[in-house]
Amino acid sequence: MVMEAHLLRFVERVRSLSDLHDSSGDQLISTEFSLIRQKSLSLKEDYGLTSAAGEIKENVKKNRYRDILPYDQTRVCLTPTTSEYESDYINASFIKGAAKNKMYIATQGPVSSTVVDFWRMIWQHNVKVIIMACREIEMGKKKCEVYWASTTDTSTFGPFTVSTFEELRPNEEVVVRTLVVKYCDEARKVFHFQYTAWPDHGIPDMPDGILGMMELARQKQSNQTDPVVIHCSAGCGRTGVICAVDYVNDLLLTEQIQEDFNIFDLILKLRRQRPSAVQTKEQYGFVFHTVAQMFQKALQVKNRNTETSTSLYINAVLPKASLKSGSLGSFNELSKTRNPPLKPRLSHPLPHTRMNDTYAVVNKPKLQPPSSAPHSITVHYYDNANSEKSNKNALYSAVKPKIRPGSLLPPPTSPVYDRSTTANQRGGLSPKVMDNEGYELLPGELRSMNRDAQPQVPLSRSPSATESQSSTDDDYEYVSSVVRDTNSPFAPGGLGFNCRIKKPKGPRDPPVEWSRAES
């Protein structure tokens, strides 16, 4: 009952932080993490930590990042295998676990020149479980070399031969591979767990995927005392989070949670063994959320409020969605109100998918016939038109507007106020226009037929219209009414249209012989 009180106190602390204003809770986490960073600077002096091996010239190229070097006091030293691979350096660190004889190896994702060294380390320490907390490529950058084989191939790395016996995906976030590694005449089985939904320098939306993967890894590790290899890209941020979570889980199983338990001291303990473990304040806050969720589950099991389970990883109450910003979540929500499972973030696009179930609505503008081609046909295409049906019942594939006599005339050079153009394009009639006396104005060709309604007026030549015509129209002249009807919706000419009259051919004066007197 004493440990349960400690668990409840921690859960209540996280709940109280989450009940504060988001900025206040985040500020407390940020302040605590800033203090961790300050204390980390003095760790080297306080504990005499050095990183001379990683700074040697021949080892510099083996480091993925120049500022993440293992401490000489905790680094993994390799034993020589062949004359070609006799260097003992690898960017990896031992981290002591909470349980007796429990050990982690926190390492960087292998680079091209250290893949063989990576398998040397796996073989030397008889590693059974590898946990990979990153993708091979993230945000367009290579984060880790592929040190395994596909399910159909076998890959060779120096003296090691690696093949994938089985590849499973228990959910969309985790890939579980069963690898068979051969060295000389011996073969070993290694379980490879890859978590694919953890962004670099960020945190997952929910801890369920991480906790579920860790439970599967714990089952494969069983009671073996061989170290578990954990790596991401640099081997510090995401790697440190997983080490911290599994460390606390061992404290729970062995009932070692004391009154003075706190995440602050735990992260400092990890950083004394692996530099920059838990690299960002968001990751630091994620540890709080995940540990509180584990404690909540442990309390539920003790009180028998939920189904009894030996696993402390699964079915715990989730923090709220603001977890991504580093603020702490609320634990008042029950598991039945969970958010949907997290979908993996992809640093590269998915392969081309079928679009059979994808629909789009496109509003296509109606094509208007150009003024220079009055005889053209406007064709309207429809997204849902079927080629076979359109041939049988061509109701929507083509629309031919009515060609009115006025549309056969060439465009005038003077402004035209013909409001029937838009209506003609729609196949409809122009709006009715009334004159001053309340009568409807007729189109030009009909008005010329109704001589009683239209006064006879002399015609005059329009020089500007004639000059604008090409040589093929020299036989015609344009005339318009001298009477200006400003109320007409048509051209300023009273006739409402331009009229071309055939020019007389030959000289206008009578021949000379006509004027001679007959003898």
- 90, 188 Cβ separation under 8 angstroms: no
d(CA 238, CA 244): 10
- 57, 39 Cβ separation under 8 angstroms: no
- Residues with Cβ within 8 Å of residue 444, at least 6 apart in sequence: 406, 490, 495, 496, 497
State both tokens at 421: 């153009």
Alpha helices per DSSP H over 308-410: 387-392
- Backbone φ and ψ for 422, nearest 5 degrees, come out as -65, -40
Q: Which of 134, 144, 232, 243 is catalytic?
A: 232
Query: How many alpha carbons lie under 13 Å from residue 128 in its C-beta half-sphere?
Result: 13
Any idea which residue has 């509180």 for tokens? 292
d(CA 394, CA 328): 64
d(CA 141, CA 132): 17
Query: In the annotation, is 134 catalytic?
Result: no
**Residue type at 451?**
R
Find, among 396, 422, 394, the residue nearest to 407 by Cα.
422
**Residue type at 346?**
L
3-state secondary structure of 373: coil
Active site amino acids? 232
